[in-house]
Amino acid sequence: MKLRDTPSACPSLWRCLPCPPGELRLDLVLTSGQTFRWWESSPGAWTGVLGGRVWTLRQERERLWYTVYGPEEGDGDGDGSLAQAAAPDGAETEQILRDYFQLDVGLPALYRAWGAADPLFRKVANDFPGVRVLRQDPVECLLSFICTSNNHISRITAMIERLCQAFGRRLCCLDARPVHAFPSVSALTGADAEARLRALGFGYRAKFVSGTARAIAEGLGAEGLRQLRTVPYTEARRVLCALPGVGTKVADCVCLMALDKAEAVPVDTHVWRIARERYGAVLAGKSLTPRAHQEIGDFFRGLWGPRAGWAQAVLFCADLRKGQQPAGSRDQARRSRGQDSCGDKPC
């Protein structure tokens, strides 16, 4: 099936909700290393998987337009199935989007508060409005960020795509591109899961992905992982850090982007450098130790308040998109939150 990327082309298949650019910028949020399942299917239109369904999103002035693709049907050619665009079912789909983008959180007021507390934030934020933190599925977020150590966004995106194709349920085919759901925990617990992941190019991360999937299946379960949303930040991070391949940085990413811990500040060597060079933070030691990680998080929480992780996401996005950097610096910035040199150790 051909993507219907323009609401005016088939208005009955699109719905919209009020959403000014100051509240959300799709082009910034969906490319800033928070998620790896969206692609720009045509200029200004973003297609991806959310809640086990395939969506296309587009912003036009003060509105966020969206359409959802229904179950695939056989195309009769023996080479796969095609998605059928379906009219979104109103309140349910709108609520999924509101929850995913956390649209109940008023962003402009937060920007003003962060800018009042931090002149550096104020200087950067004017050019990067609408950067907000996603509220993702905890299993998908956790397993995805395990893949980010010693990695960069484009490579992580390709790895997650291979993971979904190999282990996930097929959802539909768009413009000859098969689209799959993120794998369930049970799909990644087979005896051959690690070997299959290594064959897909996951390297040492294969044992961490399969090992964490088994640990979840045999312990918390997917629902228990989701219930970490209700416990204090330090407790959620402690539980996550007990899983294979999960260190403080990955745990903080999951706490922030999936478990409602807005105070979590993911720290990699890039953020560590920002804290030292731009903010003059006095930190212990000359390397990113657990103590330094805690001190950096505490420093930014003291500066930005209870949603410090959201403020840090704005600066991270700005640094990622900074066009005036030399190529080498941009390459370094494009490394996602997994850029630490962790080797075989959890990040």
Please identify every residue annotated as catalytic: 249
E strands, the chain, where? 15-18, 38-42, 45-50, 53-60, 63-74, 81-86, 170-174, 177-180
Vertex 139, ends 134 and 140: CA angle to 5°?
Answer: 55
Of the candidates 157, 171, 143, the one whose C-alpha atom is nearest the C-alpha of residue 40 is 157
Burial class (CB in 10 A: 0-12, 13-18, 19+), 275: buried
**DSSP at 77:** S
Residues 6+ apart with CB under 8 A from 338: 145, 147, 148, 149, 150, 151, 156, 249, 250, 268, 347
Beta bridge partners of 66: 15, 57
Specify whether the CB–CB gap between 138 and 38 falls below 8 A. no
| 143: three-class secondary structure by DSSP | helix
Contacts 24+ apart (CB under 8 A), 200-207: 200/159, 200/162, 200/163, 200/166, 201/159, 201/162, 202/147, 202/159, 202/163, 204/343, 204/344, 205/146, 205/147, 205/149, 205/245, 207/244, 207/245
- At how many degrees (to 10) do helices 290-304 and 269-277 cross? 60
Cβ pair 138, 226 in contact under 8 A: yes
* Cα separation, 150 vs 119, whole angstroms: 32
Residue tagged 């933190």 (tokens):
133
Q: 323 φ, ψ to 5°?
A: -80, -20
| Helix-, strand-, coil-residue percentages of the chain, each rounded to 5 | 45, 15, 40
